[in-house]
A and B are shown apart, each in its own frame.
Chain A
């Protein structure tokens, strides 16, 4: 087919190369067949294996370089998962100093967040927030977990004139939380370790559903046998392929929600079959709720004994407001606590809120009622059943800021 062309050079200036000539060039470039002599089976197999190994090596190296570029995570890091961010030593269980896994970086004192001096500087108010994964921050962007949002919010208030006339120069918020940290472990950490950092306020964000585990939560045993925080099997850990973790996560992301829900239900049912009938809580277990409240009252005493003022938060869930994916979220939550039905977990959490408020008010402690706030908050605040998005964390900080200032008022006459 002939091209319609305008006479003159300007047409050529726009594009003198005709489609036909391009196509001819491409056609000529295409080999007339895959003209490779058929190699012997052994050689072909060896080539295939070699290329597969090369593919995996390239994938692994790129993943490590990417972790370094994005998060400054060392290319040869022995940390292979979030659980490696915890260490057990003579104090008990707490953050591993200087550890980093992807976006989660611990400072040299074992807190998640930027480096702070061990000794509090003059004019600094130090607030420690502690709890489990909701407080540690799983889904938020780096530096957007509620501990950081609280610090930003308090310092913004200070800059705007709050606490005027006091000696305060800045607020410092230390994130002492770790995924899975039980209430008794928190108590132990405050008792054994946190006191030396001289916190003014300790904010506790509870995870009451922990009291629906098979056994009542207990403090992670201390380990006095180890003198340092070195990890055993460091070389093996350094060589642990990140490829597998990345691919597993991606498969999870790609899996249809229906499949994930089915797998979770199966897993929970399998756990229930391993136990006798009646093992599962189908109603809120009163004794467990009492255990929770008793531990909370004990925690308030431990915090005060450490020289700090407590703030107790109420625990919020994604079910504070109706949502379309509630059934799938409940199923996902139930997988972590197979001893209770989904509705029991939610009811237990509601009851625990009342227990938290009661324990706090009996002791004259400030309450940050996060659950109540989310009952009226629009937006995409939860990334799953209990963990926050960036927006959710910001809202938690909004509730905690006045609560922390009120707690400080008792000590520093800082006006909210």
Chain B
């Protein structure tokens, strides 16, 4: 089920909301949140709810184990077994074919004509996200950062929380634990207005901006080999903004939905295209992922505590694995490595970079990010190289569809992303004028949702 679908807006959400606030006890609200999460997820494919339930039970049991045992050996077992189980599930569903294909190619390179099977696996939507939720819960429990919960439904509600189940933000138990525990005592009116405002702003980001851009970007990139240099730049600039508004829109809607149910879901985007350098970009882009990578990968690898060489190694490893988390393809690995290299170069030569004019740094950083998105969007290295070639070497060919309209939409998107306020910087108080603006925005979004072809969120694939 999509946030930008009529069935979600007019059936699922009103029912989920009305029943939730009609319930009186904390326990019943936990149960209801868990049920809504499973219905939301099962709407796509009911069988995969069993997978989520299994992952939830394993992690919940690990939490009980941490509460029961205090000796190092048992605690280690409670860490290793469930994390391995979660990673095995993720590995099988997301990376099995990638591994087999890579092995096949390697064997061919070595001159061995072996045919490895290609497994017919459907990737469960959101598995990367809820696996992160369960692993972070287990690791934080092991570290003593959080006290595991004995309340199964509280934990099930956390894992299956529909607002952030399939595409984040990645919410750690510690950030939402207090709200979940106090969910029976939440002040409904305190949250509703702001939650609705966030949701509408997110809807506009996704439906009005991202989907309008998609209308010319998707056809252009499906025939990328026909594009001219200008066409390729328009398509990639379009994709740059499409990806941001699509994902940011989803996250903003998730935060808004969380507020409607009395849950504070952390900010995931902070105007990343306003960044002046690579470090700032990763402080602003997909914040929930970068903090997780930092806390569960970079720091355990040693962080920057063992000298410069080790720091660069850890940085590259973190970003490469972060790239692989996005998708089972070598293009994602190289994209991660590219950003790792940018972070390392900025760490090494940052002083020189920082002396440049801020406007120049913002544009330069933006262009570097656009080049990164070429790798991210490309379905093969051939496509990436072709796009790089077309963008950098003057080439005759096609423009995007309806170029004047496309440039107009891009200009609006560029202003909003690079100069305008993000949802946290907007004044969302309930003055009549602002209510009028939000009402009109909702009307426009709804017209586009109903009158347009199906449009899933880009980050669902991860």
Contact = CB atoms under 8 A, between A and B. Distances in A.
A38 interface: no
B130 to A, nearest CB: 19
A14 B294 contact: yes
A15 B305 CA distance: 17
A14 B430 contact: no
Contacts of A33: 187, 189-190
A269 to B, nearest CB: 29
A66 B448 contact: yes
Contacts of A69: 215, 402, 405
Contacts of B443: 54-59, 62
A54 B189 contact: no
A8 B283 contact: no
- Give the size category of A's interface with B: 35 or more
Residue of B270, B430, B439, B450 contacting most chain A CB atoms (<10 Å): B450
B64 interface: no
B190 A32 contact: yes
A69 B194 CA distance: 33
Contacts of B452: 66
A63 B190 contact: no
Contact of B287 (A17, A29, A61, A254): A17
B462 interface: no
B347 A246 contact: no
A23 interface: yes
Residue of A13, A57, A58, A69 contacting most chain B CB atoms (<10 Å): A13
A7 B347 contact: no
Secondary structure type dominating chain A contacts: helix
- Give the size category of B's interface with A: 35 or more
A340 to B, nearest CB: 35
A118 interface: no
A59 B291 contact: no
B405 A58 contact: no
B184 interface: no
B299 A6 contact: yes
A58 B435 CA distance: 13
Contact of B303 (A6, A59, A61): A6
B210 to A, nearest CB: 15
Interface string B424-456: 100001101001100111111011101110000
A10 B439 contact: no
Interface in B130-160: 143, 145-146
Interface in B393-444: 402, 405, 424, 429-430, 432, 435-436, 439-444
A31 B347 CA distance: 40
A59 B294 contact: no
A51 interface: yes
Given A6-B304, A15-B291, A27-B264, A254 B451 contact: no
Nearest to B293: A14
A81 interface: no
A27 B436 CA distance: 25
A36 B452 CA distance: 37
A17 B269 CA distance: 12
A16 B346 CA distance: 16
A62 B432 CA distance: 22
Given A14-B283, A23-B264, A246-B451, A4 B190 contact: no
B221 to A, nearest CB: 19
Contact of A34 (B189, B294, B315): B189
A62 B441 CA distance: 10
Interface string B311-335: 1000100100000000000000000
Given A29-B424, A57-B443, A23 B175 contact: yes
Given A34-B190, A66-B448, 14 more contacts: A1-B145, A1-B146, A6-B294, A10-B347, A11-B304, A19-B174, A33-B189, A34-B430, A55-B439, A55-B442, A61-B444, A62-B443, A69-B405, A254-B10
Interface of A: 1-11, 13-17, 19, 22-23, 25-27, 29-34, 36, 47, 50-51, 54-63, 66-67, 69, 243, 246-247, 250, 254
20 contacts: A4-B143, A10-B304, A15-B290, A17-B270, A17-B283, A22-B287, A23-B266, A29-B424, A30-B190, A31-B190, A31-B193, A31-B429, A32-B190, A33-B187, A54-B440, A58-B447, A59-B444, A62-B444, A66-B451, A67-B451
Interface of B: 6-7, 10-11, 143, 145-146, 172, 174-175, 187, 189-194, 215, 259, 264, 266-267, 270, 279, 282-283, 287, 290-291, 293-295, 298-299, 303-305, 311, 315, 318, 343, 346-347, 402, 405, 424, 429-430, 432, 435-436, 439-444, 446-448, 450-452
Q: Which 3 A-B pairs have the closest CB atoms?
A: A58-B443, A6-B303, A13-B279
